Amino acid sequence: MAHWKNFGLFLVAFSVACDSGVVGPGLDDTSDERTDEDLIDITDEDATSDTDNVGGDGLLPGDSDGDAGGGDGAGGDGVGGGDDQPPTDDDPPPPTPVPTTFEAVSVVGQSALAGTPVGEVPEVEVRDQFDAPMAGIAVRFEVLAGGGTIVPTTNVTTDAQGRAKLTSWTLGKSAVPNAVRASLPDHEALGLERFDATVETSYQIEIVFLDPPTDEQRAAFESAAARWMAVIVNDLPNGVFTRDILPESCGGIPGDTTPIPVDDLFIYARVGAIDGVGGTLAQAGPCLGRSAGAGAPAVGVMSFDSADIVSLEQAGLFDETILHEMGHVIGIGTYWDTLIDNPSLPASPGADTVFTGAFAQDAYVSIDGADVPTPVPADNSAVAGSADAHWRESVFTNELMSPSLDFADTSLPLSLVTVASLSDLGFYDANAAAADFFSLAPTLRAPTPEGPRLENWCEVVRPTGVITTP
């Protein structure tokens, strides 16, 4: 940089000389005597003394060090063309971050009891093309299968870590696969994330059709079985039976000694003639109990009058009818003998018939607002096949296990009282969370629509024998 500095000093000296009259170093700048010879001598001398600075490699092309051209000065690393050039308006803007990665960061498979929250809520993460988390991205969570509920139901926005999660996910009330999916509504090309959950239960129901059902009828039976398998969650002793010990009404076949395994409940289902339109719609109950496990139902039957099936399907009540009848097979109303006080059968219509199970009494308090456990009103009609085996219609109206059907009301809730009564039978572990909301309080109870009613429409079947169990 010595050349550049000398050249600068020369320019300053030359400029000062022009402006102040000083024509060279060593002269008295107050002198007024100037001659052409002095000027020539001074100019030649100074110009000659700085030849290395101005001529040759100095001013125009720059010396080998790049002082004036491309070295450390104006054209080198200092000002002109170095590595630390400041941005200009012509430089391209930096790339805008966009969502590039969308993935689950919570577990994607878990289990819980029906009607209860999962242990770990679904959570996802969004990152950009630089693998940095992206905040402020909308994530949509939706229930995909199983009928459960999520909170919130609106979009969730990713936080500073690029993550978004639900507040809660409660499983549905049937023993079917549950699933939630997550997506980015503004970036659908990134696909979906799926979260699965299994309903915990050890209780199994197998259905065998004695008559070929329609697809809709088969689906209704399977749906009812899944519902009760979510309510009853414990395993029962396995067993074996043969059809020759069953009455024909329960699917029995004389002489058929083929062993059939049972785990945990085996049901024969049929659609055939019973008594024509408008009479008994169905007959159901356990046919064989267990020799162990407190005698729990093992084999049952469900029969439906073909003359009434069409009207039930048209009214949207076929599924609820099957659910009701399957309740009798598992023991509701059919295993109540030791739990009923003041039975109306055989001939005491209007008696104060009540169910005395302790679990059901506690549940009854929760739906009727009573201060202390109270025996549960049961059907006191003294009608054979219905009385003492259902809840009292005047109290429970449209509850699933009341004895009448209202064709204008397809909502038949499975109440906590019904679920709790299963625990009173002594061989079931019942899941209270699988119950539907149901209240007898006037301010909470939904109005019951007015319409055609069918009273005492089902008949219960009582067990006639036992299976062999370990």
What pLDDT score was predicted for residue 31? 40
Token pair of 428, please?
């079931």
Measured CA to CA in angstroms, residue 66 lies from 4, 8, 84, 86, 467 at distances of 10, 16, 17, 21, 105
Peptide bond into 463 cis (omega under 30): no
**Position with higher pLDDT, 224 vs 84:** 224
* pLDDT above 50: residue 76: no
Residue with tokens 């409660």: 170
* pLDDT above 80: residue 9: no
Residue 201: closest CA among 275, 131, 113: 113
Query: CB within 8 A of 182, min separation 6: which ones?
Result: 104, 122, 124, 139, 140, 141, 142, 164, 192, 193, 194, 195
In DSSP terms, 164 is beta-bridged to 124
CB 454 within 8 A of CB 221: no
Per-residue pLDDT reduced to its tens digit, 423-447: 999 999 999 999 999 988 754 444 4
Q: pLDDT tier at 406 (50, 70, 90 boundaries)?
A: confident
Average of pLDDT values for 396-408? Answer: 85
* pLDDT above 80: residue 211: yes
Residue 278: closest CA among 314, 327, 312, 325: 312
What pLDDT score was predicted for residue 377? 97
What pLDDT score was predicted for residue 252? 94
What pLDDT score was predicted for residue 446? 45
Per-residue pLDDT reduced to its tens digit, 83-97: 556 666 677 888 999
Per-residue pLDDT reduced to its tens digit, 304-320: 888 888 888 888 888 99
* pLDDT above 50: residue 25: no
What pLDDT score was predicted for residue 301? 95
What pLDDT score was predicted for residue 292? 66
CB 267 within 8 A of CB 232: no
Per-residue pLDDT reduced to its tens digit, 276-304: 777 778 889 999 999 866 689 999 999 98
What pLDDT score was predicted for residue 225? 98
Over the chain, what is the mean pLDDT? 82
Q: Can you tell me the distance from the alpha carbon of 14 to that of 358, in angstroms, rounded to the nearest whole number?
A: 116
* pLDDT above 90: residue 456: no
Share of the chain above pLDDT 70, in %: 76
* pLDDT above 90: residue 32: no
Average of pLDDT values for 180-202? Answer: 97
Average of pLDDT values for 50-79? Answer: 42
- Cβ neighbour number for residue 264 with a 10 Å cutoff: 25
Peptide bond into 264 cis (omega under 30): yes
Per-residue pLDDT reduced to its tens digit, 138-159: 999 999 999 999 999 999 999 9
pTM of the model: 0.77
What pLDDT score was predicted for residue 254? 96
* pLDDT above 50: residue 53: no
CB 145 within 8 A of CB 178: yes
Per-residue pLDDT reduced to its tens digit, 326-366: 999 999 999 999 999 999 999 999 999 999 999 999 999 98
**Position with higher pLDDT, 431 vs 372:** 431
Token pair of 121, please?
């809520």
Buried b (16+ CB within 10 A) or exposed e, 185-203: eebeeeeebebbbebebeb
* pLDDT above 80: residue 398: yes
What pLDDT score was predicted for residue 15? 41
Token pair of 312, please?
């039930």
Query: CB within 8 A of 433, min separation 6: which ones?
Result: 113, 114, 115, 116, 173
